Amino acid sequence: MNDHLPRLSRTEHLILSLLADDESFGLELVERSKGGLKRGTVYVTLARMQEKGFVESRTEALPPGGIGLPRRLYRPTAHGLRVLRAWALAARSMSGNLPQEA
């Protein structure tokens, strides 16, 4: 069994947190992050996260008569959500905010 907690950068953590509630496309994540994500790095980070198995994506269908490229929507994988929860637990543990055992 591998007890190693996967590395999760601050940007990856923010993206997983934003995706935990709903799938989104990259520029929507930038907007929802209120300055935490930059346009120039969000897609590079999403691609890296997809390689790590933290997120998966699908191409949104163009509406009838739509023009241009379809958007790519991202959502966390089960693995990505487990990593996010593990990091949250680790952060609470380090800050001393874990529930006391009976």
The full set of domains in the chain, from first to last, is 10-62+69-90 (1.10.10.10)
Contact 84, 17 (CB under 8 A): yes
Helix (H, G, I), strand (E, B) or coil at 58: strand
Instruction: Give the confidence band of 1 by pLDDT, cuts at 50, 70, 90.
Output: very low
- Rounded Cα distance, 71 and 64, in Å: 15
The tens digit of pLDDT for each residue in 43-64 reads 999 999 999 999 999 998 888 8
Locate tokens 């930059």: which residue?
38
Count of other CB atoms within 10 angstroms of residue 76: 22
The structure's pTM equals 0.81
| Partners of 44 in beta bridges | none
